[in-house]
């Protein structure tokens, strides 16, 4: 039953955007832009931190941070799945204007994420050496990587909570508050990094541990400010009084979050693992090809940002409309998402293609033999991000109704079966060309399968949120 004491903020208020009414294209575009801003800020922050570490502490420290980042990427990829599951649940409840169910869901999820954060921090501190050995961390970088990773793990409880809160805010239609939170977090991290790495006044120089501590402090401050803002503005996800009892995990909520979150988190792991295997083939081509691939991956990361931001916005918007039983708007949401992402990605791809040489020269000497290799691979690979974006938008819509198993299977087929068969099967003959074209084959397969499931799959028949219950149990298997 909806909360009669504290109604949802009215449509158009600064607290949230009503995603179930109004022109779909304009609403989605305005909702997705702040999410894109968050992604850009986080990438810039990572680049600046790497510059400080590399220039101030040298190659070993940079290698240490890179190894620690691999651990963090896999962990956050898994966490992303559970955060998106919460976004979908909250989005559907918000579409039904059931604020009580929104808060019940948030309470259970918050307890789960807090427990997971504490467990991760504890286990991460204890097993950090084993993780770094598993990554074959270079001997010179190992002690630095251990210090960096352990401090980062200490901040996991705050990081987990912050990720959940920002995801939940998007679920209720608020993408502005997460943007302001990201600006605060990144600004603090950028300012604190040189102070704690090099030391300033009475603050001792901490080296690479200082960089990790800067991230921890920035996270703690920003999540504290985020919680304050949620309560000061009485946002829909706040809990007060008797509502605090909902912090005890509800079995149905936990079951649904885990059922949706595991396949989505596993999808990130499959994608990362697939890329790591391809890097093994790239390394066979020599240092110039490896260097070119590394630089182009930096540039392609910016091309992929619109798909991540728009996909997240599409998922929240579709979830709200499903909750509101406005199924007729889903097609408009899907095509609007595809159009917005294609336009953004196309502009970025053209820019990188036209300015490939000067962009690569930011990372490599002007006469580096890696530059023509990078230009060639970009002419093939860059365009797959248009197809990948389409797949991400389409799967974001079906996942908004709890359909996660089939998209995961489709990902395994495209990113593992098709890509590896193409790459390893043709590598003896095509050499590096087999690597680049395997990505094209994978992206094309993913797009075709996504459309096939969207138009002919049974995902519309599922009901993730039922009747007036706080959280519904999926009807049948949520595929």
Give φ, ψ of 200 to 5 degrees.
-150, 120
Lowest mean pLDDT among 57-71, 165-179, 232-246: 57-71
Cα–Cα dist 202/208, whole Å: 18
What was the pLDDT predicted at 70? 65
Q: Look at residue 479 and tell me whether its pLDDT is greater than 70.
A: no
Where residue 252 falls among pLDDT bands split at 50, 70, 90? confident
CA distance 403 to 474: 10
Q: pLDDT at position 72, please?
A: 75
9-18, 21-30, 215-224, 245-254: which range is least confident on average? 9-18
Residue 341: per-residue pLDDT? 95
Region 265-284: what's the mean pLDDT? 82
The CA distance from 284 to 434, in Å, is: 13
Total number of residues shown for the chain: 479
pLDDT of residue 3: 43
Would you state the pLDDT for residue 386?
96
On the question of pLDDT at 255 being above 60, the answer is yes
> Does residue 330 carry a pLDDT above 90?
yes
Better-predicted residue by pLDDT, 385 or 53: 385
Average pLDDT over residues 450-474: 68
**What pLDDT is attached to residue 63?**
64
Residue 467 above 50 pLDDT?
Answer: no
pLDDT value at position 66?
65
Q: Cβ(254)–Cβ(108) under 8 Å?
A: yes
For 240, phi and psi rounded to 5 degrees? Answer: -140, 155
- CA–CA distance, 179 with 284 (Å, rounded to integer): 41
- At residue 458, the pLDDT reads 85
Per-residue pLDDT at 59: 60
- Does pLDDT of 364 surpass 50? yes
Is the model's pLDDT at 104 over the cut of 80?
A: yes
Q: Is the pLDDT of residue 230 over 70?
A: yes
Distance between CA 54 and CA 63 in Å, rounded?
9
Is the pLDDT reported for residue 14 higher than 70? no
Average pLDDT of the residues in 87-99: 90
pLDDT, tens digit, 9 for 90 and up, residues 261-270:
888 888 888 8
Chain-centroid distance, C-alpha 139:
31
From the centroid of its chain, how far is CA 394?
Answer: 17
Give me the percent of the chain exceeding a pLDDT of 70: 89
Using the predicted structure, report yes or no on whether residue 474 has a pLDDT greater than 90. no
Lookup: tokens for 124: 């991460």
Segment 15-22 shows an average pLDDT of 75
Q: What is the pLDDT of residue 52?
A: 74
Nearest to 86 by CA among 122, 125, 112, 66: 112
Largest CA distance in the chain: 69
Dihedral sign computed on CA atoms, order 330, 335, 341, 343: negative
- For residues 155-184, give the mean pLDDT: 91
401-459 pLDDT per residue, tens: 988 999 999 999 999 999 999 999 999 999 999 999 999 999 999 999 999 999 998 88
The CA distance from 335 to 332, in Å, is 5
Q: Is the confidence at residue 6, as pLDDT, over 70?
A: no
């Amino acid at each position: 039953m909806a909360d009669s004491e504290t109604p949802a903020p009215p449509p158009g208020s600064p607290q949230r955007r009503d995603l179930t009414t109004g022109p779909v294209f304009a609403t989605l575009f305005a909702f997705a832009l702040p999410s894109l801003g968050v992604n850009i800020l986080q990438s810039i922050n990572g680049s600046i931190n790497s510059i400080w570490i590399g220039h101030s502490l040298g190659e070993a420290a940079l290698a240490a941070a890179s190894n620690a980042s691999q651990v963090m990427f896999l962990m956050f990829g898994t966490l992303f799945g559970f955060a998106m599951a919460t976004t979908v649940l909250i989005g559907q409840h918000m579409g039904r204007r059931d604020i009580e169910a929104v808060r019940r869901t948030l309470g259970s999820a918050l307890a789960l994420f807090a427990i997971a954060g504490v467990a991760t921090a504890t286990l991460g501190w204890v097993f950090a050496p084993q993780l770094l050995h598993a990554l074959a961390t270079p001997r010179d970088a190992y002690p630095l990587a251990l210090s960096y990773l352990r401090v980062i793990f200490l901040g996991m409880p705050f990081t987990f909570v912050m990720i959940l809160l920002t995801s939940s805010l998007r679920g209720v239609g608020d993408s502005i508050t997460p943007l302001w939170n990201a600006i605060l977090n990144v600004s603090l991290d950028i300012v604190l990094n040189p102070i704690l790495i090099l030391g300033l006044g009475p603050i001792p120089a901490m080296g690479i541990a200082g960089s990790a501590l800067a991230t921890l402090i920035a996270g703690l401050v920003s999540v504290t400010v985020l919680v304050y803002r949620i309560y000061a503005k009485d946002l829909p996800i706040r809990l007060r009084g008797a509502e605090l009892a909902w912090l005890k995990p509800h079995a149905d909520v936990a079951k649904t979050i885990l059922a949706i979150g595991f396949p989505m988190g596993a999808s990130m792991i499959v994608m990362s693992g697939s890329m790591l295997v391809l890097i093994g083939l790239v390394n066979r081509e020599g240092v110039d090809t490896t260097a070119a691939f590394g630089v182009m991956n930096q540039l392609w990361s910016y091309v992929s940002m619109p798909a991540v931001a728009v996909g997240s916005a599409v998922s929240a918007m579709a979830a709200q409309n499903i909750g509101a039983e406005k199924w007729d708007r889903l097609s408009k949401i899907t095509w609007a998402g595809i159009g917005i992402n294609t336009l953004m990605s196309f502009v970025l791809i053209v820019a990188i293609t036209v300015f490939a040489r000067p962009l690569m020269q930011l990372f490599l000497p002007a006469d580096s033999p890696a530059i023509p290799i990078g230009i060639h691979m970009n002419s093939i690979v860059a365009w797959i991000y248009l197809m990948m974006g389409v797949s991400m938008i389409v799967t974001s819509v079906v996942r908004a109704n709890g359909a996660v198993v089939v998209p995961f299977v489709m990902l395994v087929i495209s990113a593992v079966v098709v890509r590896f068969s193409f790459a390893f099967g043709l590598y003896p003959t095509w050499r590096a060309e087999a690597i680049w074209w395997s990505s094209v084959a994978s992206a094309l397969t993913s797009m075709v399968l996504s459309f096939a499931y969207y138009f002919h799959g049974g995902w519309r028949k599922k009901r993730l949120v039922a009747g007036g219950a706080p959280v519904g149990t999926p009807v049948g298997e949520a595929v």
